[in-house]
A and B are shown apart, each in its own frame.
Chain A
Amino acid sequence: MLKAINALLAVLAGVGGGFALYLILNWLVERLPGRWEDRIKPYIFIGPAIVFVTIFLVYPALRTAYLSFFDDGGEEFVGMANYVDLLGESSFLNALFNNVLWLIVVPAGVVIAGLIVAVLADQLSTRGENAVKSFIFLPMAISFVGASTIWRFVYAFEPEGRAQIGLLNAVWTFFGGDPVAWVQNDAFRLNSFLLMVIMIWLQTGFAMVLLSAAIKNVPTETVEAARIDGASEVQIFFQVVVPQIWSTVITVFVTVLILTLKIFDIIYVMTGGRFNTDVIGNRFITELIKFGRDGRASAIVVMLLIAVIPVMIYQVRQFRQMEATR
């Protein structure tokens, strides 16, 4: 209770204080002679946001890059040693390989599942469509940790002879299979793929909403014209609809790609990186929390950062184009 009151006070103080700061600064600037007021005021408005981003995001990012060339205590300059060491370790390369698998499978899986729901539900009555979409969309509210627990239960394993309480093993043994410890089974990276299912399950709703809206924006005339020309529904979909929603497909793909690149929670909860399921997002946490190796952990995030740079450039370009057409 005391905690709740404290929190409430903190919120009030934080927000009230923040607002008061703007008020005071604004009042001060308004005392300035006209021209100076106009010159300085914009910086008062954007100032706090810029300060936040600079202190807590930009400066730390640069500092991390710097630290990645130092030893784990951050004292001795070691050049590229952290990078060389990491890239020479089979366990790290394995994590990288898993990450690549995730990046290939998850965004594609999300887009495809989202497209299937969007296209098929479009055939239903409006009420039916809305109901279906709500069910698919709901997991968007669930955390990675919560979803991992849900699926860990689906994948639960009991030795042969006991009742299987995990849904997957129950179905599997019903059809005559022997119970499988799914999460520990890394044959053909089976367990990694089962973890990817969780991510696809969570993100499909997002893809569905964007893609469905895009599909509904495709002008009916283009579809009708193709139909009159004798095109099959499949041809219409791939040759008429898909090209018109392509930019949305890309947006969804890139968004999920970025999210997947940093994936950490699911692996942390499901396996802790064991059974050949490690990824670099989880490896970073292991290095940082478990071993306290700042230098190596920094080198790992710098690699992540480098992987993101192309997307960053793409984003800025997209934004510029959008602005130009405003």
Chain B
Amino acid sequence: MTTTTPPLAPDTEVSEPAKPSGGKPRRGIGTIIVRVALLVMVLVWTIPTIGLLVTSGREPTVVSNSGWWSVLSSPLDFTQWTAQNYDEVLTAQGMGNAFLNSLVVTIPATVIPILVAAFAAYAFTFMKFPGRDVFFIVLVGLLVIPLQVAFIPLLQIFGEIGIVGTFPAVWLAHAAFGMPLAVYLLRNYMEGLPGEVIESAKVDGASHFVTFWRLIIPMSTPALAAYAIFQFLWVWNDLLVALIFLGPGENEVVTVNLSTLVGTLGSDWHLLTAAAFVTMIVPMIVFLSLQRYFVRGLTAGSVKG
């Protein structure tokens, strides 16, 4: 993955906590302009998605003959609503199968890098060894590498082992591509943990392994959760890696399926909208329920300056 995500900082949320005192400045006419401007932006940021959702539940004939906004005049006319689009997309168009594949791809591709990165981050933070700084600087440099650089040789390697088009190929690829960010985030978080705790564990005779497993992992939960959500959304939403290493067909994931449908169904909007919504539902749920962790993963050091 390639982002210049800054290290984790303490709580910064999308939602700011209420301010203790003072309140916010208010100025008459300015407030109205501000509200109108924000309303326009909120509409632009929500209406396209609402249009998609509405259309996915409408009868095919009404979809092609009237704009989705016409439901506003008669939302309770139930003859226009149908679940048929979803039914067709999930079965006839293979989205149901793709949905399952996406789960099969995403879960291991999220869990494996976390496990591997957590061990590495521990060593980078709490152990002294020759080469430590060099290794870490290389990882920092790799954060922004375009992952396309790895595709052609990886296809050859995977081809020789015979795993192109199978799930292990994407698991390995995603685990590797997500590794630099995982190690970087976790190490920066562990760096901020109180050193005394580790020292006292050492004095008590705990081995590194025990310290890691019993102390550091539980203390690092926020960072682990932040990275897990990040990677989960990344892998689920990824088209590039899935297209190259799994491709279309029996093992295709939702993004690959949707991109094929866009090409083949063209303007069957009742189906395309339903298919698009199927691809979006899981990340939406994950995102909405775990947003605070995700934001912690995004924000931080940059804010501190």
Contact = CB atoms under 8 A, between A and B. Distances in A.
B43 to A, nearest CB: 9
Interface stretch (B73-81, B82-90, B218-226, B269-277): B269-277
A186 B7 CA distance: 41
B162 interface: no
Given A45-B127, A124-B38, A262-B2, A288 B48 contact: no
A129 B12 CA distance: 15
A207 B240 CA distance: 24
A52 B149 contact: no
Contacts of B119: 22, 45-46, 48-49
Given A53-B176, A143-B255, A316-B141, A150 B48 contact: yes
A138 B263 CA distance: 26
A41 interface: yes
Interface in B38-75: 38, 41-42, 44-49, 51-52, 55, 63-69
Contact of B148 (A52, A156, A262): A262
A123 B24 contact: yes
Nearest to A129: B16
Contacts of A80: none
A46 B123 contact: yes
B132 interface: yes
Interface string A18-46: 11001100100010000000010111011
A57 B139 CA distance: 11
A222 interface: no
B201 to A, nearest CB: 15
B115 A53 contact: no
A15 B3 contact: no
Interface string A234-278: 000000000000011001101100110110110011001000000
Interface of A is mostly: helix
A206 B153 contact: no
Please classify how large the interface on chain A is, using the bins under 10, 10 to 19, 20 to 34, 35 or more: 35 or more
Contacts, number: 362
B293 interface: no
A36 to B, nearest CB: 13
A91 interface: no
A146 interface: yes
Given A142-B237, A214-B303, A269-B262, A294 B103 contact: no
Contact of A285 (B128, B142, B243): B243
Mostly helix, strand, loop or mixed at chain B's interface? helix
Given A11-B107, A152-B262, A209-B295, A46 B124 contact: yes
A197 B103 CA distance: 30
B236 A143 contact: yes
B145 A308 contact: yes
A322 B191 CA distance: 12
B3 A259 contact: yes
Interface stretch (A2-10, A96-104, A187-195): A2-10
Given A138-B45, A142-B280, A149-B52, A125 B24 contact: yes
A67 interface: yes
Interface in A123-160: 123-126, 129-130, 132-146, 148-154, 156
B163 interface: no
A305 interface: yes
B24 A150 contact: no
Contact of A137 (B14, B24, B113, B279): B14
A285 B247 CA distance: 12
Given A55-B176, A149-B262, A247-B305, A261 B108 contact: no
A53 B139 contact: yes
Interface string B1-19: 0111111000010111111
Interface of A: 3-4, 6-7, 10-11, 14-15, 18-19, 22-23, 26, 30, 39, 41-43, 45-46, 48-50, 52-53, 55-61, 63-65, 67, 113, 116-117, 120-126, 129-130, 132-146, 148-154, 156, 163-165, 167, 170, 201, 204, 206, 209-210, 212-214, 216-217, 220, 233, 247-248, 251-252, 254-255, 258-259, 261-262, 264-265, 268-269, 272, 281, 284-285, 288-289, 294, 297-298, 301-302, 304-305, 308, 311-312, 315-316, 319-320, 322, 326
28 contacts: A7-B107, A18-B115, A39-B129, A42-B123, A45-B122, A53-B176, A55-B157, A55-B176, A57-B145, A116-B41, A134-B15, A136-B41, A136-B45, A143-B237, A143-B279, A145-B239, A149-B276, A153-B51, A156-B269, A167-B67, A167-B69, A170-B67, A213-B12, A264-B240, A304-B148, A305-B149, A312-B144, A316-B141
